[in-house]
Structures are given as C-alpha cells and as structure tokens.
C-alpha cells in the first residue's frame, strides 16, 4: 500500500464525527467515531484531523496514502469551493473547510451538506439490490430534512437547499421553530420535538429520547401513543409531498429516530393505508413498497462521504447509474 489509493469519508456532526477509510475496492480498512469540538474553527479542524489519523492508524497507513477526502457537513456549503457558508452546529460561517483540510493532508477534499451526502450513501446502498434511479432520502434525527437524487444525479437546487422539508410550515400557529417561523415540520417530527411533546403530555414520565416514546407507546402509554400518531401523520404527509413533488421511485428513511424500526414504521404505513383507502390517486402513488428503512448498521452519511471522496459528487454520481454495479463501480 505505497501509492495514494485510500479514500476517507467523514460525517461531521454537531456532537460526533464518524470517519471511514476505504481502499480502491471500497473495502473498509478503518472506522472511528470521535466527539466533535466546535468552540473554534481550529478545534473543529483538530477533530477532523484526529478522526483521519485514527482510521489511518487502524490500517497502519500514512497520510501520504490518502488519495482523497469527503466531508458531509451539517449546514450550507459550496461544493465547488469547499467553503462552509453557514453551519450553526459547527460554529462556522464562511469558512474554507475544504481547502484547509486539503492543504493539511495534501489530498483533494470534497464537501457537501450532510443530508445530501447521506442521500448519496443511501442511494448507493439501495442500488446494491435494486436498480433505482430516483429517490428521496429522509433523515429524521435531531432535525428532519431530505436529500433528493433524480435520474442518478444529486438534486441540490439553487442554494443547495432542495429537500429542506423540516422548515415547511405545517401548522401556521404552531410551536416557534429555531428558524424563526412557527409550526415547521421539524417542531413536530424530529427527536427533540418528540421528547418535548411527550414531556408536556406526560410530565410524570420524562423521556430522554425518541426511542423511549416508541417504547412507551408499545406498552400502552396513551400520551406516547398520541405523540407517535401525530408524528406519523405528519411524516406520512411529508412522504406524500416528496413523492408528489419529485415522483421518486422510493423514499428511504434513516436517522436516529428510525432506529425504533418496526415501531417507527408501522404507524406510518397505517397512515399511508388510510390515504390509499380515501383516494385512487393515493392508492396508485403511495404503495407500502415506496418506503425503505435504511438498516441501523449502515451509516449512509459516512458512506456518502466516501463517495464524495471518490468524486461521486453531484456532477459525477451519474457514473454509478452508467456503470451500475454498486460500490464495485466506484472509480475516479
Ligand atoms: Zn423552521
């Protein structure tokens, strides 16, 4: 392993950063998760550097063997320049993250928004078994957002914001969102929103995470069942919008909240069934098979970042479609 043939993908989150080191056949040589430090840009750079050195150490490799680096970043980024325009959770504004990492490791570095990056990873995962071309990937965790791939190409939109469904208004007089508007989808469907709704409805049983809400609902807690019902109704409508807006073949669901598995999925499927009963249009466009739950042991964010590293960016992801053999087709 002397030639520079290794790729590093990083999913840089507000609290933790995951990294994956792969060889030219996309075999995993190293993986790690480290806490993200965001007090200053230097601390964030140190976090990324630490994660990269950790995966290199696991593979007994050196920085000189890195061919390219991909970064999924929670915020607005300019993939062409590698500049992070605004990433509130990383405490960054107009910061040249891509060029800085590139200079530090002497390797080309590619950036994309984290949910768009995860959409690429999710798309690739599904394509190992199904020849899909157009998907929406919905990430439901501390927030909710989607990434859209149309005809094998990442759809970014004018500002790279295509799929930011979390800030679509669903209840004009609802809760105040941190974006400044009221009643955004994210004030109802997201981990913190579920915890808040549950703790207001049932102050005697404070929960710490969305999984506990699903568990309480399964055990017959009525407050939890109502929260799950409300979340599932809104989420099924969001899925309907994505299908109606983009006419995608599949809607893939991932992120922390989806880790409750069947308990998460079943009430959404019930809602979709209810819509199908009411409408032949819904019956045609919203079959259960449209939904796909990303398994919890696959991290689409970090795999999407590996694709970025391999220059499977918005311009070149179509190569996957053209060659179509899943990860084995990854070439630069
Ligand atoms: Zn909002």
Torsion of CA 308, 318, 315, 79, to 10 degrees: -30
Helix/strand/coil for 316: coil
Say how many Å lie between the CA of residue 236 and the centre of ligand 1: 19
pLDDT digits (tens, 9 = 90+) for 213-231: 999 999 999 999 999 999 9
pLDDT digits (tens, 9 = 90+) for 260-319: 999 999 999 999 999 999 999 999 999 999 999 999 999 999 999 999 999 743 344 444
pTM score, two decimals? 0.91
Which residues are in the CB-under-5-Å shell of ion ligand 1?
167, 177, 179, 181, 184
Say how many Å lie between the CA of residue 181 and the centre of ligand 1: 5
Spatial separation of the C-alpha atoms in residues 210 and 257, rounded to whole Å: 6
- Do residues 7 and 307 lie in contact, with contact meaning Cβ atoms separated by under 8 Å? no
Say how many Å lie between the CA of residue 193 and the centre of ligand 1: 12
pLDDT digits (tens, 9 = 90+) for 39-48: 999 999 999 9
Tell me the pLDDT band of 330, cut-offs 50, 70 and 90.
very low
Pick from 193, 148, 130: nearest CA to 314: 148
Say how many Å lie between the CA of residue 180 and the centre of ligand 1: 6
Say how many Å lie between the CA of residue 165 and the centre of ligand 1: 9
Query: Residue 179 region, left (φ>0) first, then alpha (ψ -120 to 50), else beta?
Result: alpha
Say how many Å lie between the CA of residue 98 and the centre of ligand 1: 28
Say how many Å lie between the CA of residue 240 and the centre of ligand 1: 20
> How, if at all, do strands 92-95 and 83-87 pair?
antiparallel
Say how many Å lie between the CA of residue 113 and the centre of ligand 1: 18
Element (H, E) at 304: helix 300-309
Say how many Å lie between the CA of residue 186 and the centre of ligand 1: 6
Domains of the chain with CATH codes = 6-118+298-323 (3.30.420.40), 132-293 (3.30.420.40)
Say how many Å lie between the CA of residue 185 and the centre of ligand 1: 7
What is the DSSP code (8-state) at residue 255? S
Tell me the pLDDT band of 204, cut-offs 50, 70 and 90.
confident
pLDDT > 70: percent of the chain: 93
Beta bridge partners of 138: 146, 253
Residue entry with tokens 């060889």: 23
pLDDT digits (tens, 9 = 90+) for 82-112: 999 999 999 999 999 999 999 999 999 999 9
Say how many Å lie between the CA of residue 309 and the centre of ligand 1: 31
Give mean pLDDT, residues 121-133.
96
Say how many Å lie between the CA of residue 168 and the centre of ligand 1: 7
Say how many Å lie between the CA of residue 108 and the centre of ligand 1: 34
Residue entry with tokens 């109502």: 226
Say how many Å lie between the CA of residue 184 and the centre of ligand 1: 5
Neighbouring CB atoms inside 10 A of 289's CB total 8
Say how many Å lie between the CA of residue 256 and the centre of ligand 1: 19
Say how many Å lie between the CA of residue 268 and the centre of ligand 1: 22
Mean of the per-residue pLDDT values for the chain?
A: 92
């Amino acid at each position: 392993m002397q030639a520079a043939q290794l790729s590093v993908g990083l999913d840089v989150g507000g609290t933790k950063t995951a990294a994956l080191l792969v060889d030219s056949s996309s075999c995993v040589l190293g993986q790690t998760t480290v806490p993200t430090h965001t007090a200053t840009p230097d601390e964030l750079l140190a976090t990324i550097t630490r994660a990269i050195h950790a995966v290199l150490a696991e593979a007994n490799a050196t920085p000189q063997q890195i061919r390219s680096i991909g970064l999924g970043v929670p915020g607005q980024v300019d993939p062409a320049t590698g500049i992070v325009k605004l990433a509130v959770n990383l405490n960054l504004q107009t910061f040249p993250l891509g060029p800085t990492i590139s200079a530090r490791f002497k390797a080309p570095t590619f950036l994309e928004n984290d949910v768009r990056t995860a959409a690429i990873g999710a798309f690739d995962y599904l394509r190992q078994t199904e020849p899909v071309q157009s998907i929406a990937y919905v990430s439901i965790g501390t927030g909710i957002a989607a990434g859209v791939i149309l005809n094998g190409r990442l759809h970014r939109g004018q500002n790279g914001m295509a799929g930011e469904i979390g800030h679509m208004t669903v209840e004009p007089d609802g809760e105040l969102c941190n974006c400044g508007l009221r009643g955004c989808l994210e004030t109802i469907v997201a981990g913190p929103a579920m915890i808040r709704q549950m703790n207001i409805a049932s102050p005697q049983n404070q929960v710490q995470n969305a999984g506990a809400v699903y568990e309480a609902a399964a055990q017959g807690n009525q407050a939890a069942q109502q929260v799950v019902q409300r979340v599932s109704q809104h989420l099924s409508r969001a899925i309907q919008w994505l299908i109606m807006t983009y006419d995608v073949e599949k809607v893939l669901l991932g992120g922390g909240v989806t880790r409750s598995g069947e308990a998460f999925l079943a009430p959404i499927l019930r809602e979709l069934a209810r819509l199908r009963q009411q409408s032949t249009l819904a019956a045609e466009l919203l079959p259960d098979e449209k939904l796909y739950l990303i398994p919890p042991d696959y991290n689409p964010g970090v795999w999407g970042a590996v694709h970025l590293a391999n220059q499977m960016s918005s311009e070149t992801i179509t190569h996957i479609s053209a060659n179509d053999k899943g990860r084995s087709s990854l070439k630069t």
